[in-house]
Structure 1
Amino acid sequence: MADLATLPQYQIRLLTKQQQYAVPDYPLSVHASITINELNTLVNELLKESNSRTKQIEFDFLVCSQFLHTTLLEHVTERGLSTEDVINIEYIEKHPPPEPQDCLIHDDWVSAVAVCKKWILTGCYDNTLHIWTIKGKHHLVIPGHTSPVKAVAWVSLGDQTGTFVSASQDQTAIIWDWNITNNSVDCIHICKGHERGLETVGVNYDKTLMATGAWDTMLKIWSTSVQDGNEDGESAPKRLKLDHGKTRTPNRTMKGHKEAISGLVWSDKNEIITSSWDHTLKVWDSEIGGIKHEIQGNKSFFDVDYSLLSRSVITASADKHIRLYDPRSAEGALVKSIFTSHTQWVQTVRWSTEDEHLFISGAYDNTTKLWDTRSPNAPLFDLSGHEDKVLCCNWSNPMLIVSGGADNTVRIFKSKKIDHIS
């Protein structure tokens, strides 16, 4: 190890947006090989002096918008940062580790999960849907599909009723009406039109439309309304008896992908982003029915998600990496960051709905990971528990990180929120 006396000294300035932890921002002289632990000691000492805070707080440190994981010397050398000037180091309270909660046991692989308020909706390879409370109590099993359920989404949820949609390899999506008071479910509409199994479903922000993607390479748009304007004149009981719910046809079908559509997300009122096995992401205008933009990848994409907070896209891929894209970028590289830690195919990704920097991923290496976009080479936490491939994940409820897998379970982790800016 280098002798500290022979190492250069750097001038640093410690800054934070969390005002409760602010220390004087005058420049300090530190040795170049200072580490996170030593910086933590330094900030806590300064806090003790400036506001008599005695409790030790753990911080992460940002230099050049990326978390410090090595010595300061290695970090600034790697980024070609000038050491002639004062180096600004931003510190934020370390994210607390998510705490394992319940394990929801199913009879088959769990390939779809969606959380809304206090309810968890799951879809399985045994063709069934399930509703659970976020406390882990099984509420309802829903048969209806004839092949594995690959995707689920909530349309609306009140105190007495809820509406949700399921997409299956049986080539249909079903819109369901749930009477919460009676705990009974009706199949309202069977959406028919795809010629091969469905892989993904997404509902737009005002809950009026949904999109489905399938192995037939088609993207289809449907109405989510429980009533249908195109009544065929038959009485409701007779119609339900005839077709176990009314058949609904798509509002629009959009062609463009060459292989299966693996994931989709609405990025605004009319815009949809899709991922595909054909190595591309496509941005669609659902109103005019055309492709606005295409992003070429180098492997099959398995999932995609969009953050309203950062306006960025993350993707799951067959090359074990997660990529972050700026879909609006007109120049330079579209890939802004590559996140590397999974050792097998990454199957699923979801952004935090409350923090523009945080997202989760699930992979065939049996792990779910919690990431911060400012730390591409190391996740914040590995959320272990699954004993087989992770197939789906969800973070719609900011308090709960939920994942489903080929071990027939859903794992729930409690995510503690920290106030980054007070």
Structure 2
Amino acid sequence: MVVNPGDNIQVLFSTKTEYPLPEQRFMLPVNWKRYHLSQLINTALGLSQPIPFDFLVRSQILRGSLEDWCNENDIGTESILEIEYIFSLLPPSRLSVVPHPDWVSGVSYTNLKGQDTFVTSSYGGHVRFFDAARSSLHSFRAHNAPITSLCIFASNGSQESISEDEETIIATSSHDNTARLTAYNSSAHSSRPVASLHLHTAPISMISSSSSTSSPKSLLLTAGWDSLIGLWDIKIPSSHEVPAPQSLENEGASRKRRRVHQENEEREVKRKAPISVLKSHKARVTSVVFANGEGDEKNVHRAYSCSLDSTIRSWDVESGVCLNTASFSEKPFLSLVTLNSPSLLVASSTDRTMSVLDTRSSSSSNQISSDTISNSSLRASLSQQGTPSVLAPSPVNSSHFASGGYDGIVRVWDIRSTKEAIASFRAGESSNEDKTNGKGGDSKVLALSWDRGVLAVGGEGGLDIWRVPEGTTTSR
């Protein structure tokens, strides 16, 4: 079937937003695009302030004209197109830039005791806190080697917590083969180290926490270059659970002084051992995350990991068993996130692609159910010019996520529109004066945090803060 430019087609609109139209059919020119359809909806609704809408045709975002879509999908003008309209993602706008003396490897935009706070970790081993006005609140040195990532969880006031009620736990991972737990008091802007985590024999790629409110306890996962994954709680032990690392021989005087100071500190900071060790990967584990447990009880004990061995694995962290493995050909993975949905994962790889996987199992069993991950789970594949080094899910939309690349560009994606990003911006971009003086250039993106309409970007350019507003409707 061929649709010609002068043809018309019947369209029936629907929406899950708070702006529904009365059910009626519209006869529309097939050369209409998103802008024309959005104008029609606004006019039909009689809105005093225009609202930009995007349009889903059979779960695909309309990127060209109705004619283009019909011809690509072999749909004739005798058909009735059912089109859902959703809120458009408004163009991102920069809020501020916070310079750092070294690369920002981790970032979290969070609310600590009622105060919006940006927390960053860096290659210099420091963790820094800033308020919404970019004013420095506190900083401390967590490691004597580069920090690779951080995660945060507030004290729950239970006996499980190693912090006091007014404190928040900051967990960091490092190239020094350890992770650290530090208690931060947001009222006094003070911090104290409380535990160090010892398992890995190589640098730790990342550390992540169980963020689900349905999780029965506070847990951590660490992913190591040694192909191991560690599972941890945040209880403080009464005594050291692992022996102290052996001192290196032939150290210089300055390193000896630093080690003496560190050993004095270690007398107060207890060394923790993992609850269990997850073994299955054959190469460096680059990312590990807990499943999104909201609305799905079995996901409370589920986790996912990806590796340079070109696999994505699902785990039962309670039993320590690898449930399923999805193997890909020459696709070393760098980052992995769960979307704002119990079943969707996105993983980025060195081949400059991002794979969207649906983990819903098609089988039923009386045994403990497990998500099925295999090559057939691949739902979509997206590609970009720069290597996507880090990902962040939208906090409100189960179809949106952001990627940060080694080319310095942050892209916002909708998994229903796989041909191109729906928005993008260059992070850490230098001023025109700097570019003229030869000081400009691309800044690698190493960390992302997206919450409450704010996308915080960490990398070579320090901390870059952007407004990325979304509608309140979650489309599935």
Identify if the C-alpha distance between structure 1 residues 54 and 248 changes in structure 2 by more than 3 Å, giving closer, same or farther.
Answer: closer
- In the TM superposition, residue 27 of structure 1 has moved relative to its aligned partner by 1.9
- CA deviation digits over 1:298-326, x for unaligned, max 9? 31111101135252001111111221101
Secondary structure of 1:269's counterpart equals helix
- In the TM superposition, residue 81 of structure 1 has moved relative to its aligned partner by 3.8
| Distance in 1, Cα, partners of 2:186 & 2:199 | 30
Between 1:84-93 and 1:215-224, the stretch displaced more is 84-93
- In the TM superposition, residue 101 of structure 1 has moved relative to its aligned partner by 1.0
Question: 1:339 is matched with which residue: 365, 377, 382?
Answer: 382
| Distance in 2, Cα, partners of 1:37 & 1:80 | 23
Question: 1:188 is matched with which residue: 162, 186, 194?
Answer: 194
Identify if the C-alpha distance between structure 1 residues 352 and 41 changes in structure 2 by more than 3 Å, giving closer, same or farther.
Answer: closer
- In the TM superposition, residue 327 of structure 1 has moved relative to its aligned partner by 1.7
| Distance in 1, Cα, partners of 2:39 & 2:191 | 57
- Counterpart residue number, 1:56: 50
| Distance in 2, Cα, partners of 1:41 & 1:308 | 30
| Distance in 2, Cα, partners of 1:296 & 1:101 | 41
Quick check: 1:240–1:246 contact (8 Å CA) kept in 2? no
- Matched letter for residue 421 of structure 2: P
- Counterpart residue number, 1:328: 360
- Counterpart residue number, 1:414: 467
Question: 2:151 is matched with which residue: 153, 158, 163?
Answer: 153
**Paired residues for 1:1-400 under 5 Å:** 7-20=6-19, 22-48=20-46, 53-81=47-75, 83-117=77-111, 118-156=116-154, 160-204=166-210, 205=212, 206=215, 208-225=218-235, 227-230=236-239, 241-243=265-267, 245-267=269-291, 268-298=299-329, 299-330=331-362, 333-340=376-383, 342-386=384-428, 387-395=442-450, 397-400=451-454
- Matched letter for residue 156 of structure 1: A
Secondary structure of 2:448's counterpart equals strand
- In the TM superposition, residue 192 of structure 1 has moved relative to its aligned partner by 1.1
| Distance in 1, Cα, partners of 2:287 & 2:266 | 33
| Distance in 1, Cα, partners of 2:170 & 2:120 | 11
TM-score after normalising by structure 1: 0.89
| Distance in 2, Cα, partners of 1:373 & 1:103 | 29
- CA deviation digits over 1:202-230, x for unaligned, max 9? 112345221101100000111212x3255
- In the TM superposition, residue 62 of structure 1 has moved relative to its aligned partner by 1.2
Identify if the C-alpha distance between structure 1 residues 242 and 302 changes in structure 2 by more than 3 Å, giving closer, same or farther.
Answer: closer
Identify if the C-alpha distance between structure 1 residues 135 and 293 changes in structure 2 by more than 3 Å, giving closer, same or farther.
Answer: farther
| Distance in 2, Cα, partners of 1:361 & 1:302 | 11
| Distance in 2, Cα, partners of 1:14 & 1:166 | 48
Quick check: 1:155–1:224 contact (8 Å CA) kept in 2? no
Identify if the C-alpha distance between structure 1 residues 346 and 241 changes in structure 2 by more than 3 Å, giving closer, same or farther.
Answer: closer
Identify if the C-alpha distance between structure 1 residues 348 and 242 changes in structure 2 by more than 3 Å, giving closer, same or farther.
Answer: closer
- In the TM superposition, residue 189 of structure 1 has moved relative to its aligned partner by 0.7
- Counterpart residue number, 1:236: none
- In the TM superposition, residue 176 of structure 1 has moved relative to its aligned partner by 0.6
- In the TM superposition, residue 168 of structure 1 has moved relative to its aligned partner by 0.2
| Distance in 1, Cα, partners of 2:35 & 2:201 | 57
Identify if the C-alpha distance between structure 1 residues 86 and 220 changes in structure 2 by more than 3 Å, giving closer, same or farther.
Answer: same
- Counterpart residue number, 1:235: none
Identify if the C-alpha distance between structure 1 residues 332 and 406 changes in structure 2 by more than 3 Å, giving closer, same or farther.
Answer: closer
Quick check: 1:352–1:398 contact (8 Å CA) kept in 2? no
| Distance in 2, Cα, partners of 1:199 & 1:129 | 17
- Matched letter for residue 311 of structure 1: S
Quick check: 1:357–1:372 contact (8 Å CA) kept in 2? yes
- Matched letter for residue 312 of structure 1: L
Identify if the C-alpha distance between structure 1 residues 265 and 365 changes in structure 2 by more than 3 Å, giving closer, same or farther.
Answer: same
| Distance in 1, Cα, partners of 2:57 & 2:80 | 12
Quick check: 2:125–2:143 contact (8 Å CA) kept in 1? yes
Secondary structure of 2:322's counterpart equals strand
Q: How many residues align?
A: 406
Give ranges in structure 2 of 5+ residues lacking alignment.
Answer: 157-164, 242-262, 292-298, 363-373, 429-441
Identify if the C-alpha distance between structure 1 residues 33 and 213 changes in structure 2 by more than 3 Å, giving closer, same or farther.
Answer: same
Quick check: 1:310–1:356 contact (8 Å CA) kept in 2? no
Identify if the C-alpha distance between structure 1 residues 229 and 353 changes in structure 2 by more than 3 Å, giving closer, same or farther.
Answer: farther
Give ranges in structure 1 of 5+ residues lacking alignment.
Answer: 233-238
- CA deviation digits over 1:51-84, x for unaligned, max 9? xx34433221111111111111211222334543
Secondary structure of 1:135's counterpart equals coil
What percent identity do the matched residue pairs reach? Answer: 22
Between 1:7-16 and 1:287-296, the stretch displaced more is 7-16
Identify if the C-alpha distance between structure 1 residues 289 and 364 changes in structure 2 by more than 3 Å, giving closer, same or farther.
Answer: same
Secondary structure of 1:391's counterpart equals strand
Identify if the C-alpha distance between structure 1 residues 73 and 137 changes in structure 2 by more than 3 Å, giving closer, same or farther.
Answer: same
- In the TM superposition, residue 137 of structure 1 has moved relative to its aligned partner by 1.7
TM-score after normalising by structure 2: 0.79
| Distance in 2, Cα, partners of 1:257 & 1:297 | 13
| Distance in 1, Cα, partners of 2:387 & 2:418 | 17
